[in-house]
Structure 1
Amino acid sequence: MKLNTGHLTYCTNIHAGKNWVEDFKALKENFPAIKQAVAPTQPLGIGLRLSHAASNALTNEQELNTFKHWLNENNAYVFTMNGFPYGDFHHTIVKAEVHSPDWTTDERRDYTLRLFHILKKLVPEGIDAGISTSPLSYRHWFKTDEALKQAREKATLNMLEVVKELIRIEQEIDLHMHLDVEPEPDGILETGREFIDWYENDLLPSGIPLIKATFNIDEKQAEILIKRHLCLCYDVCHFAIGYEDHEAVLEDLDLRGIKVGKIQISAALQADLTGTETERQNIQTAFGRFNEPTYLHQVVALTSTGALLRYPDLPEALERFDNDPATQWRAHFHVPISVKEIAPLQSTQDDIVKVLELQKKKPFTHHLEVETYTWEVLPEQLKLPIAQSISNELNWVIDTLS
């Protein structure tokens, strides 16, 4: 739905589906109730997540037209997609495979191009469109500095192939679309600083001569086009896990002319560890209830000196809990954004409030997407019926922004 600060939606990766038939069925079952609860009299956006298999199905013109007809009937529209998970995302062990195939591969490049060609046929006139994606790859797959360097170079070139296509599309049909790179824990790009450094030290040096030669333009025009079509996906959960200063990151991006394509409105788990031994034991037990086997739940621990200790997954962090010198833990588990207290734990809801305040004060993107994909693996006390849960999330954002 259109708010004063941008278009608001939720990401459909919360719905379990291995293919387009299952995805469409979940939308038809849940979306009407969500719309009635959130935007009964105005159009409501859908943040579409399509797997590789589902995207192949929607290249069929008849399937796509059926979906477009359903969107019209339900006063719905698509302006953003989640192109991060390529394969199955529920009912299987995902973990680091969420990055596979990564941006070093033709499969990731071709899948993303396919998503953009679907999206260009769905987005309403007058709205920019974006697709969020993996931060190049999973860093722990590369065991040497040279292997990591080669992966960055190959991934960057593949992303630039997508940028070239987005430039062509805008020249042909006057539609602005952007690829939104999403830093996350243990991605090759993990933090705001790493994203900015990659953008200026890898992407622009490789991209400017390539775009200049391809489109017969000067270097300044090439830089402008890259910055128009390759942006940051600001996942609040991921930046909160790294204890990042949201205002400082956004000011740095603005200073350098790097745009934010989308805010993914999401919350992590956190807990203060400076209490009594009994309180610490209760916190350890509470984190254990979130130790499920489907997704990676990286933990970043803050020490009294301000140093950060990083654990690749919750089991490793829990094993070290008794000897961890941290004063606070934050864990990569997308919990409902409308809930702050998960006693004895909390969510990083305050980070969302801060980012939304900055967006309200000086909008830095047109796209706002709630992302709480962990509904199926949430502890039972947090698991409302799915349509009700999504509606609560969206209405909480609307209330917070207003």
Structure 2
Amino acid sequence: MRTKYGHLTYCSNIHPGESWSEHFLQLKENLPLVRKNLSPNAPMGIGLRLGNEASLELIKPSNIYEFQTWLKNEGFYVFLINGFPYGNFHKTTVKENVYKPDWTTNERLDYTLRLFSILSQLLPKELEGGVSTPPISYQFFDITDFERKQRVRASTQNIIKILHHLIQVQMDTGQVLHLDMEPEPDGILGNVELWIQWYLDVLLPTALPEIQSKWGFTKEATEGKVKNHIRICLDVCHSAVSFEKNKTIVWLLKENLIQIGRIQISSALKAKFSKDPKPTLDLLSSFDEPTYLHQVIIQSEDGQLVSFSDLPYALLRGARPFEEWRIHFHVPVFLDSFGMLSSTQSELIEILNLQKDFFLTNSLEVETYTWGVLPKELQTPIVTSIIRELQWVKSILESETNLKVVE
């Protein structure tokens, strides 16, 4: 839905269905109920999740036409696509497989090009559109630094192929489409600082001479093209897990003139331990489920950070008194605490207030995809949950009080 501070939606990865027919049924069942409660008198945007199987179906002209007709009749529009998970994302063990195939592969390249083709056909004329994607690959796929550098080099070349395509689309149609790369703990680009380092030290030096040579742009225009089409997807859960500071993130991106393609509005699970860690550890064990990766970063009392690739390994290590744990487990954004556990909601409120101050992006996407694996006491009917999350975000955006940036 349109707000004063951008287009607000939620990501449809909350709904199961790997085939397009299954996923479309979920959209038809749930989206009209959400819009009826939140945007009954105006069109509502969709953050569409399409896995590879669904994309192969939806790209067919008859299916695209059917979906376009439904969007028009029901008052919806598509301006974002989630292209991070390529394969199955529900009711199976996903874990590190969410990174497969990675950006070294033709499969990831072809899938992403297909998503942009679909988005180009669905996008309203007046809007820009983005496809989100992994931060190159998963760091533990490589054993040596040399292997990782080779993976980064090959992946960057494929991302530049996407860049060429997006430049061509804009020249042919006027549409501005952007690839939104999403830093995540234990990705090769595991946080915003690492992502910016790759952008400045690898992507730009590799892309600029190639783009300038092929298209004949000036140096300044070439850099503008790269920065227009390759953007960051800022998932607030991920940055909070990494203990990144929102004001520092915003400053670094602005300083380097790098655009935010979308903000994924999400909260991480947080635990602060007392002298007796056991009760809190026992509660955390209820979040240890087998579907998704739940990376953990622990801050000790003296500020040192240590990370674990998944929650079971952190639980096996145990907690020390006065540590703070942040866990990559998307919890409802409207909850700041539940018993002895809490969330990183304060970090989320801060980024929403920064959005109000600086209009960081036109695309705001709630992304709590874990409703089906939350402990039972936190699970509520899906439509009710979606509406409550979006209403909470709107209340923050519409609030007259604001957290000011300290210069």
Q: Is the 1:301–1:326 contact (alpha carbons within 8 Å) kept by the matching residues of 2?
A: no
Amino acid paired to 1:393: E
Superposed CA deviations along residues 10-45 of structure 1, whole A, max 9, x for unmatched, are 000000112101100000111111111111111111
Matches within 5 A, 1:32-111: 32-111=32-111
Between 29-38 and 178-187, report the one with greater CA deviation.
29-38
Q: Is the 1:268–1:333 contact (alpha carbons within 8 Å) kept by the matching residues of 2?
A: yes
Partner in structure 2 of residue 287 of structure 1: 284
Q: Work out the CA distance in 2 between the residues paired with 1:361 and 1:56.
A: 40
Partner in structure 1 of residue 404 of structure 2: none
**TM-superposed deviation, 1:257:** 0.6
Q: Work out the CA distance in 2 between the residues paired with 1:267 and 1:380.
A: 18
Unaligned runs of 5+ in 2: 399-407
Q: Indicate which of 373, 376, 380 corresponds to 2:372.
A: 376
**TM-superposed deviation, 1:305:** 2.3
Matches within 5 A, 1:143-182: 143-182=143-182
Partner in structure 2 of residue 191 of structure 1: 191
Q: Indicate which of 313, 317, 323 corresponds to 2:314.
A: 317
Superposed CA deviations along residues 35-92 of structure 1, whole A, max 9, x for unmatched, are 1111111111110000101000011101011011111111000000100000000011
Q: Is the 1:296–1:332 contact (alpha carbons within 8 Å) kept by the matching residues of 2?
A: yes
Q: Is the 2:295–2:307 contact (alpha carbons within 8 Å) kept by the matching residues of 1?
A: yes
Q: Is the 2:7–2:363 contact (alpha carbons within 8 Å) kept by the matching residues of 1?
A: yes
Q: Work out the CA distance in 1 between the residues paired with 2:79 and 2:329.
A: 26
**TM-superposed deviation, 1:236:** 0.1
Q: Work out the CA distance in 2 between the residues paired with 1:81 and 1:284.
A: 37
Amino acid paired to 2:306: L
Q: Is the 1:16–1:23 contact (alpha carbons within 8 Å) kept by the matching residues of 2?
A: yes
Q: Indicate which of 324, 335, 341 corresponds to 2:331.
A: 335
Partner in structure 1 of residue 403 of structure 2: none
Determine whether 1:305 maps to 2:302.
Answer: yes
| Identity between Structure 1 and Structure 2 (%) | 44
Partner in structure 1 of residue 264 of structure 2: 264
Q: Work out the CA distance in 2 between the residues paired with 1:386 and 1:54.
A: 22
Q: Is the 2:275–2:321 contact (alpha carbons within 8 Å) kept by the matching residues of 1?
A: no
Q: Work out the CA distance in 2 between the residues paired with 1:326 and 1:235.
A: 27
Determine whether 1:17 maps to 2:17.
Answer: yes
Q: Work out the CA distance in 1 between the residues paired with 2:364 and 2:69.
A: 24
**TM-superposed deviation, 1:220:** 2.0
Partner in structure 2 of residue 366 of structure 1: 362
Q: Is the 1:94–1:295 contact (alpha carbons within 8 Å) kept by the matching residues of 2?
A: yes
Between 213-222 and 72-81, report the one with greater CA deviation.
213-222
Partner in structure 2 of residue 4 of structure 1: 4
Partner in structure 1 of residue 340 of structure 2: 344
Amino acid paired to 1:359: Q
Off by >3 Å, runs of 4+ in structure 1? none
**TM-superposed deviation, 1:325:** 6.6
Q: Work out the CA distance in 2 between the residues paired with 1:123 and 1:382.
A: 35
Q: Work out the CA distance in 2 between the residues paired with 1:184 and 1:24.
A: 28
Aligned CA RMSD, in angstroms, stands at: 0.9
Q: Work out the CA distance in 2 between the residues paired with 1:180 and 1:375.
A: 24
Amino acid paired to 1:269: L
Partner in structure 1 of residue 243 of structure 2: 243
Q: Work out the CA distance in 2 between the residues paired with 1:376 and 1:261.
A: 28
Partner in structure 2 of residue 356 of structure 1: 352
Amino acid paired to 2:134: S
Partner in structure 1 of residue 275 of structure 2: 276
Amino acid paired to 1:314: L
Q: Is the 2:82–2:132 contact (alpha carbons within 8 Å) kept by the matching residues of 1?
A: yes
Q: Work out the CA distance in 2 between the residues paired with 1:325 and 1:83.
A: 40
Superposed CA deviations along residues 166-200 of structure 1, whole A, max 9, x for unmatched, are 01000000000100000001000011110110000
Q: Is the 1:271–1:344 contact (alpha carbons within 8 Å) kept by the matching residues of 2?
A: yes
Instruction: Provide the TM-score with structure 1 as the length reference.
Output: 0.98
Superposed CA deviations along residues 75-117 of structure 1, whole A, max 9, x for unmatched, are 0000001000000000110000000000010110110010000
Q: Work out the CA distance in 2 between the residues paired with 1:259 and 1:15.
A: 29
**TM-superposed deviation, 1:219:** 2.2
Q: Work out the CA distance in 1 between the residues paired with 2:379 and 2:68.
A: 31
Unaligned runs of 5+ in 1: none
Q: Is the 1:302–1:326 contact (alpha carbons within 8 Å) kept by the matching residues of 2?
A: no
**TM-superposed deviation, 1:326:** 6.2
Q: Work out the CA distance in 2 between the residues paired with 1:88 and 1:343.
A: 33
Amino acid paired to 2:100: S
Partner in structure 1 of residue 396 of structure 2: 400
Q: Work out the CA distance in 2 between the residues paired with 1:331 and 1:207.
A: 35
Amino acid paired to 1:214: K
Q: Work out the CA distance in 1 between the residues paired with 2:201 and 2:330.
A: 31
Q: Is the 2:295–2:311 contact (alpha carbons within 8 Å) kept by the matching residues of 1?
A: yes
